[in-house]
A and B are shown apart, each in its own frame.
Chain A
Amino acid sequence: MMNRKRDNFFSRFILTIITVITVSLSCSFVHFSHAASSDSSSVHTNNWAVLVCTSRFWFNYRHMANTLSLYRTVKRLGIPDERIILMLADDMACNARNKYPAQVFNNENHRLNLYGDNVEVDYRGYEVTVENFLRVLTGRHENAVPRSKRLLSDEGSHILLYMTGHGGDEFLKFQDADELQSHDLADAVKQMKEKRRFKELLIMVDTCQAATLFSQLHSPGVLAIGSSMKGENSYSHHLDSDVGVSVVDRFTFYTLAFFERLNMYDNASLSSLFSSYNPNLLLSTAYYRTDLYQQQMEKVPVTNFFGSVMETIHTGSAYRGVSGKDSNRAKFEVSSDQSYDRDAKSITTSSDPEKQVDHPGIKAVKSGTCPHADLWNMIVEKVQRIKDVDSIVNYGFVGLLTLVAVSTWHSS
């Protein structure tokens, strides 16, 4: 009877310990929610484009044609090479299976050679990896990386991010070896926002189940459109029987059809672009999310992202006085003596009412929600203040060993 009572007591003791621990753990989660500072005060200064083709091998010809077509469009509308980051596997034009060497087409009429003149690829071949892509977005490169491979945007830049390849539910496949997951992309965009690397960002994704790739985004100022929704595939447009592979995807094909009608001076709006996608022709639903984007899409011209914007101000006057003339200046000779003493009084360090460096104590927890929160926070603070964690752990280890020794000796 006594033993059963002790067992009951013991089990109840263990239960109470466990419940105390879980309660205090659950009460100690306090979230500091800092709203990201909105920089609607910055002026739109330039446009950048990051165009990524994540596939390689001959049968993925159409992905490279997609990317090169968009590259050509964006250049035609005015974005210069120095503001385009082009990431391609670049193994189509000189592929042994290419019947038209050094030429890449996006239409079976072969009217346009996308690889013809002036293609500057920044990351090619095996350099197209998820790591390099995230480095480009966040701007964290090694010191030796040249400027042409960096996204040198500032807080007034609008960035167009176009990705094409093979994708799936919440991921995008990079060259059969890597995966970019949607939360990775969301984290990278969040870092970009914190570091003020863009004013507005337009993400276009042309893969299967494209809309899932930007489902985790939560930074303001981002507009995203995908070629298909979850569970849908994105299809290629047509097969070029001469080259032997499909040469373009449907979503990109209709995007290009929209842009071929435009030139630099036009101001067609983004909503007209987005409404030009016909689900019957695309064989998928082009889904876009605007909940993070403050502007109204009818008023935003597509050249805000796809074209070149240079804000210009006329220079009203030159600055005369810099002609380097070494004229003889007539100095006004003062007859009275020049020497006057200046008492350099030492500057008194008076207490300045505007000392900027007071540290207001931040109240971490709103007490009243949890009974043990104060106590727990005190414990947490004390533990966090312990600088020398290693020695405590060592002491604990020694204690553990002695206890184990004592108990084994006791039981034998």
Chain B
Amino acid sequence: MAEITETMGNESSPSEENRNENSERSNFDNKTMRKSKPGLKRLALTLTVFFSFLLGLPWLLKSIEIYRSPLPFRDIDSLSNAIDSNPFLFPCKFHAVFVNFEHSTPIKQNAEQLGFLVSSHMLQLADGNSFCGTCESKYTVSVSLDSGNGCVEYEDADRGRAWRCGALSEFKFDETVKNDEVLDEYLESVVGRRGRVYTVVVVNAGEGYRVRAVVGKHRHAWIVGRFSEVDMLAEKVAEMFVKIFVGGAKEEGAMQGEFMPVGADGKIVLSFNLLNADPRDWIYDWDFKEVDEKVLSPTLEALGPIANISVESQVLYHTPKSSYSYWDVEVESHIFSTKDLPFFVNSNEWHLDTSIAAGGRSKILQFVVYIPSANECPLRLQLPNGEISMTNAFISPTWGGVVVLNPPNCLGNANSMHPLRRKVSPQELNQIFEVFMGQLRQLFGLKSTGFYKGASGSSILLASERGFTEWELDVLARQHACFNLRQCGTTLGSLSRLVQSLPRMIIKDEIGKQVSYKRCTVIGCLQSSILTRSNYPDIWRACAT
């Protein structure tokens, strides 16, 4: 049986093979199967599909792209680096006039040597000066020598005839203030119309005159007196140029205008507040409109190129202060000291921030007149050296200032039953506003003492009825323009850094347009100011961000 099966198996296997071959042959379908291995054609097809996918890749990526308006990052970075590393320096022109020097032989130098002497002294003095808004360090001083026999001039090529010969020949110099103002106006008519040049006129007077230096309200100053040494004279002139006209007559170590109190939108709101601490004792009111028209408007107009200033005023009641005072028998008044000043402003009860006109980004400066209550009257401020303050006022930088006004005769005033309604008298109001003007200048970084004490002697600074003299306005405009440019540079730089570090942030088109506009404005402004050497308010207006 096994043999049969074996032979049957042997017989069946070839037949199975035959059957398999047949089935294979019959299963082979020419239409869908192939015998040969795939060759070049398939390779070409695969590669074509692959490359078509590669071609379509940008379309795919674009569909998932986040829209970022293209910002000029490299340009922004380079601009902000340039602004940071090179401090912006303004071109300043100086002119020194020496009158009546023929008679004294030591000063028989020629104009050119005098010019070099003055500018070398200026370079020495300006070594430490590197704050924002200084003048260029290559000082060019043009000199005019006016003696009885005619004028000699040494000047730069691009200036016209500077000094009118014999202009001061008939002027009588005496040391009164009125004479100062007259001379100031006269000098303004002589030298004032030539553009922005700072002038110092040195007059050699006869015997009996001591050296007296006065800085006028415009852009000139004069020194009158008897001079023996050329070097000292040149040093004094140089000091007037560098320390007063360029530096703004600030003392060493003072804050160099880091906090210009101007808001980001170029506006300041001055808020004047009259505070009645206890209206049960007395109620004060003031005639603000009048003093606003007479006193404030000229000042605000003068400050126009720097900031757009608006004024508000209000009267508040029930506003006690939050610091303490003690009764001093000697002075017969209640005393508060400078240590109490940080705690004087009682922010809980003084609702000073009720301005409706101030936008979100403008700066508000508060000026407060504080009228104490009857049990704290008169209230006086004692300085650390023991003296009583003449002004009874203080400021807080970037916040504003406070003046304490004591009602007259408050010691002798017996308790009156009715709250008296009174008005602040015009004289007191004028006094208060003189103090406010001093405080406003202090907030801008300028002193109001009326004189400047330098290494080579002191100079008298004339006060202007507009609150700021023209050379002070120049200093402020320079500082403000420089500060704004720096701000612009850092803002653009930080914006570009921030945007580059957030790669998936959407940047809309408006932002791109604004950035390129700002950048172009800044660059154009820098170029134009350097090329045209134009006046500072124009620069400031062009660069206002």
Interface residues of A (CB under 8 A from B): 2-3, 6, 10, 32, 34, 37, 41-43, 45-46, 75, 78-83, 118, 141, 143, 145-148, 150, 152, 154, 156, 187, 190-191, 194-196, 264-265, 308-325, 329-332, 334-336, 338, 340, 342-345, 347-349, 352, 354-360, 362, 389, 392-393, 396-397, 399-400, 403-404, 406-407, 410-411
A213 to B79, CA, bound (A): 37
Task: Name the CB-closest residue of A to B50.
Answer: A14
Cβ of A116 to closest chain B Cβ, rounded Å: 13
Q: Is the CB of B498 within 8 A of A194?
A: yes
Contact of B463 among A147, A320, A340 (CB under 8 A): A320
Contact of B448 among A3, A265, A316, A389 (CB under 8 A): A316
Other A-B pairs, 16, CB within 8 Å; known A330-B178, A357-B79: A46-B398, A80-B348, A190-B498, A310-B343, A315-B439, A318-B448, A321-B467, A322-B433, A323-B295, A332-B186, A342-B161, A356-B86, A356-B88, A393-B62, A396-B55, A396-B56
Known: A312-B395, A313-B394, A315-B395. A340 touches B164 (CB 8 A): yes
A362 to B81, CA, bound (A): 11
A389 to B185, CA, bound (A): 66
Interface: B23 (CB within 8 A): no
The A-B contact count (CB < 8 A) is 264
B385-396 interface bits toward A, Cβ cutoff 8 Å, 1 = contact, 0 = none: 000011101111
Contact of B434 among A37, A323, A335, A411 (CB under 8 A): A323
Contact of A400 among B56, B74, B532 (CB under 8 A): B56
A152 to B353, CA, bound (A): 13
Could you pull out 15 A-B pairs where Cβ atoms are within 8 angstroms?
A37-B490, A42-B258, A78-B347, A82-B347, A146-B360, A147-B359, A315-B435, A316-B391, A322-B434, A344-B160, A345-B158, A347-B532, A393-B62, A406-B48, A407-B52
Q: Which 8 A-B pairs have the closest CB atoms?
A: A80-B347, A321-B463, A194-B494, A312-B341, A403-B52, A318-B434, A324-B294, A319-B437
**In the complex, which residues 20-57 of chain B have their Cβ closer than 8 Å to any Cβ of chain A?**
37-40, 43-46, 48-49, 51-52, 55-56
Cβ of A395 to closest chain B Cβ, rounded Å: 9
Q: What are the residues of chain B within 8 A of A321 when measuring CB–CB?
A: 462-465, 467
Q: What are the residues of chain B within 8 A of A404 when measuring CB–CB?
A: 49, 52
Known: A315-B393, A347-B533, A396-B55. A407 touches B347 (CB 8 A): no
Q: Is the CB of A359 within 8 A of B78?
A: yes
Q: Is the CB of A410 within 8 A of B498?
A: no
B75-97 interface bits toward A, Cβ cutoff 8 Å, 1 = contact, 0 = none: 10111011100101100000000
Q: What are the residues of chain B within 8 A of A349 when measuring CB–CB?
A: 531-532
Q: Is the CB of B49 within 8 A of A360?
A: no
Q: What are the residues of chain A within 8 A of B39 when measuring CB–CB?
A: 2-3, 6
Q: Is the CB of A345 within 8 A of B341?
A: no
Cβ of B61 to closest chain A Cβ, rounded Å: 9
Tell which of B118-126, B227-235, B522-530 binds the partner: B522-530
Cβ of B494 to closest chain A Cβ, rounded Å: 4
Q: Is the CB of B171 within 8 A of A342?
A: no
A345 to B353, CA, bound (A): 52
Q: What are the residues of chain B within 8 A of A83 when measuring CB–CB?
A: 347
A32 to B381, CA, bound (A): 55
Q: Is the CB of A410 within 8 A of B258?
A: no
Contact of B159 among A156, A265, A345 (CB under 8 A): A345
Q: Is the CB of A314 within 8 A of B353?
A: no
Q: Is the CB of B399 within 8 A of A118?
A: no
Cβ of A101 to closest chain B Cβ, rounded Å: 25
Q: Is the CB of B531 within 8 A of A352?
A: yes
Interface: B226 (CB within 8 A): no
A137 to B29, CA, bound (A): 76
Task: Name the CB-closest residue of A to B527.
Answer: A357
Q: What are the residues of chain A within 8 A of B40 when measuring CB–CB?
A: 6
Q: Is the CB of B86 within 8 A of A310?
A: no
Q: What are the residues of chain B within 8 A of A357 when measuring CB–CB?
A: 79, 82, 523, 526-527
Among B383, B395, B464, B466, the most chain A Cβ lie within 10 Å of the Cβ of: B395
Contact of A392 among B56, B58, B438 (CB under 8 A): B58
Known: A32-B500, A319-B467, A393-B62. A356 touches B530 (CB 8 A): yes
Q: What are the residues of chain A within 8 A of B167 when measuring CB–CB?
A: 334
Q: What are the residues of chain B within 8 A of A317 when measuring CB–CB?
A: 390-391, 438, 447-450
Q: What are the residues of chain A within 8 A of B58 when measuring CB–CB?
A: 392-393, 396
Q: Is the CB of B48 within 8 A of A342?
A: no
Task: Name the CB-closest residue of A to B362.
Answer: A147
Cβ of B318 to closest chain A Cβ, rounded Å: 13
Q: What are the residues of chain A within 8 A of B458 when measuring CB–CB?
A: none
Interface: B299 (CB within 8 A): yes
Interface residues of B (CB under 8 A from A): 37-40, 43-46, 48-49, 51-52, 55-56, 58-59, 62, 74-75, 77-79, 81-83, 86, 88-89, 136, 157-161, 164, 166-167, 170-171, 178, 181-183, 185-186, 189, 193-194, 255, 258-259, 294-295, 299, 322, 338, 341-345, 347-348, 352-353, 355, 358-360, 381, 383, 389-391, 393-399, 401, 430-431, 433-435, 437-439, 441-442, 447-450, 462-467, 490-491, 493-494, 497-498, 500, 502, 523, 526-527, 530-533
Cβ of A40 to closest chain B Cβ, rounded Å: 12
Known: A316-B449, A322-B437. A329 touches B48 (CB 8 A): no
Q: Is the CB of A342 within 8 A of B82?
A: no
Known: A80-B347, A141-B360. A315 touches B438 (CB 8 A): yes
Q: What are the residues of chain B within 8 A of A32 when measuring CB–CB?
A: 497, 500
Known: A310-B341, A317-B448. A329 touches B185 (CB 8 A): yes
Q: What are the residues of chain B within 8 A of A332 when measuring CB–CB?
A: 171, 182-183, 185-186
A359 to B62, CA, bound (A): 32
Contact of B342 among A312, A354, A392 (CB under 8 A): A312
Cβ of B49 to closest chain A Cβ, rounded Å: 6
Cβ of A29 to closest chain B Cβ, rounded Å: 11
Q: What are the residues of chain B within 8 A of A316 when measuring CB–CB?
A: 391, 438, 447-449
Q: Is the CB of A191 within 8 A of B498?
A: yes
Q: What are the residues of chain B within 8 A of A331 when measuring CB–CB?
A: 182, 185-186
Task: Name the CB-closest residue of B to A360.
Answer: B78
Q: What are the residues of chain A within 8 A of B347 when measuring CB–CB?
A: 78-83, 308
A258 to B463, CA, bound (A): 53
Q: Is the CB of B182 within 8 A of A320?
A: no
Q: Is the CB of B494 within 8 A of A318?
A: no
Q: Is the CB of A147 within 8 A of B438?
A: no
Cβ of B451 to closest chain A Cβ, rounded Å: 10
A37 to B51, CA, bound (A): 49
A53 to B58, CA, bound (A): 47
Q: Is the CB of B185 within 8 A of A397?
A: no
Cβ of A50 to closest chain B Cβ, rounded Å: 17
A43 to B161, CA, bound (A): 47
Cβ of A99 to closest chain B Cβ, rounded Å: 29
Q: What are the residues of chain B within 8 A of A355 when measuring CB–CB?
A: 527, 530
Q: Is the CB of B442 within 8 A of A313?
A: yes
Contact of A319 among B183, B341, B448, B491 (CB under 8 A): B448
Contact of B396 among A143, A187, A311, A345 (CB under 8 A): A311
Q: What are the residues of chain B within 8 A of A323 when measuring CB–CB?
A: 295, 430, 434, 465
Task: Name the CB-closest residue of A to B439.
Answer: A315
A316 to B530, CA, bound (A): 38
Task: Name the CB-closest residue of A to B524.
Answer: A357
Q: Is the CB of A194 within 8 A of B497?
A: yes
Q: Is the CB of A195 within 8 A of B494?
A: yes
Known: A80-B347, A310-B345. A407 touches B383 (CB 8 A): no
A393 to B61, CA, bound (A): 10
Known: A319-B441, A342-B193, A359-B82. A312 touches B294 (CB 8 A): no
Task: Name the CB-closest residue of A to B497.
Answer: A34
Q: Is the CB of B37 within 8 A of A75?
A: no
Q: Is the CB of A324 within 8 A of B295?
A: yes
Known: A78-B343, A78-B347, A329-B181. A356 touches B49 (CB 8 A): no
Q: What are the residues of chain B within 8 A of A334 when measuring CB–CB?
A: 167, 186, 189
Contact of B399 among A310, A335, A407 (CB under 8 A): A310
Q: What are the residues of chain A within 8 A of B467 when measuring CB–CB?
A: 319, 321-322
